[in-house]
Chain A
Amino acid sequence: MTDPVEDRIRSAVDDGPGPSHELVSRVTRAAGESVERRPARARRGLSWRRPLVLAGAAVVLAAGGAFAAVMADRGSDTAVPLTPEAAAGVRESAILARAPWLVPGRTPGRLQTTRPLPSLVYPEGTTYRRALNRLVESIAADGTLPDEAMLAPPLRNGRVWTRTPSGPRLSLTAPFGWHVPSGRIAFPSYAIPGDVPTDEAVARAEAIQREGLTAADGVILDIPRLPACQRLAKAKPCKLAPVTPAN
């Protein structure tokens, strides 16, 4: 005899909300493109997931935390691992070559002292998580910006990710956010789920440094939690401390 509660659960999920048409379209299109371009990837000897690798990363295990984080090391050439082709693409890009979160300088990038970079307008329905993943993937693949996004003027007042009538927009000045009030621009970082034993987490992190993300399943791009003043167009701008030689 079936349990009526079990039946109700199945029905409630089956009859509940479904994915948007836009998402279904995006997922099916991506599946088709994935198999069609596979031979080209194989020729290049690149993994599809390679874009999410950090070259020269420093491994930091968050003691007692839920995650082991793999963080960018400012001593690296870039905060996203690049093939020689992708590195050439970044060098040739008027935008990416001066992105402080991607190409670290000798001192930390600050919002107050960085010339604003354009923003990217993504298709409607894109989430912040997706936008960041696509940005990093695209840069690491060939040193360019995501095909599906369009360039737009810089976001103002320190906004990082915000909804606009033309679609969601991501700041290229500080896509991973910035520290309030110092203005320090954040680098990308990666995480390993906390249920992975420490030894295994260390091994995975080392594998990422050595061989790329495909060498370690379950490693994901960290998505920062942005304060309202960095993501809501109508919120008061975040406070920014004046830059002094001391800070």
Chain B
Amino acid sequence: MSRTSSDGALVARARGGDGRAAEELAGRHVQTAWKAAYAITGRRDLADDAVQDGFERAFSALDRFDVSRPFGPWVNRIVANRAITLASRGVQAVEFDESLHAGSAEADLSAHEVRDALRGLDPDRRAVVVLRLVLGFTPDESAEILDVPVGTVHSRLHRALADMRRLLEVPAA
């Protein structure tokens, strides 16, 4: 497999039953998807579940993927949706809570502060922050994913950033 194969080429091969192409495609996007899921859920076990379920759904629906569009946002959208659902069920989730930055000893204090502040946001606002700023979805796309009006996306992001500035003691931009 060429390392320079485009996502579209890998999708085409995967649709033809090429397992190695599917593995390479998944490997390219799993990191970003997981980090977004982790930022949304704040829990490693839920992020794992969101990614596993999301990729499972994505690859089982590969025939329905529009190859004229980029693959990354498509799979990220599916994983983010799962993460939002799981995060909304937080109290029903089992297992062992861990802090958002557990296991990231290399991260500096500033990054820890930001992640802690992110974790302190209301889940709805946190999801908007991740969709808009981390995954780069447009307001329209974010609204579709969250099933809310575009205006709600704008207001949640505005309030989330205001909360973040307050928590991080940064003056308003």
Query: Which residues of chain A have a CB within 8 Å of any CB of chain B?
Result: 3-6, 8-20, 23-24, 26-36, 38-39, 48-49, 66-67, 125, 127-130, 133, 161, 191, 193-195, 218, 220, 222-226, 231
Contact = CB atoms under 8 A, between A and B. Distances in A.
Contact of B51 (A11, A23, A220): A23
Contact of B92 (A9, A133, A225, A231): A225
15 contacts: A6-B161, A8-B114, A9-B134, A12-B118, A13-B35, A17-B35, A20-B48, A28-B24, A31-B55, A33-B19, A66-B89, A129-B93, A161-B94, A195-B147, A224-B94
B36 interface: yes
Interface in B79-124: 85, 88-89, 91-95, 100-104, 107, 110-112, 114-115, 118
Given A27-B30, A36-B19, A225-B94, A15 B88 contact: no
A84 B161 CA distance: 55
A159 B52 CA distance: 26
A67 B27 contact: no
Q: Is the interface of A mostly helix, strand, loop or mixed?
A: helix
A220 B38 CA distance: 19
Q: Is the interface of B mostly helix, strand, loop or mixed?
A: helix
A31 B161 contact: no
Interface in B59-75: 59-60, 62
Contacts of A39: 17
B31 A19 contact: yes
Contacts of A226: 94
Interface residues of B, number: 65
B153 interface: no
A130 B49 contact: yes
A14 B32 CA distance: 8
Given A34-B22, A66-B88, A225-B92, A3 B173 contact: yes
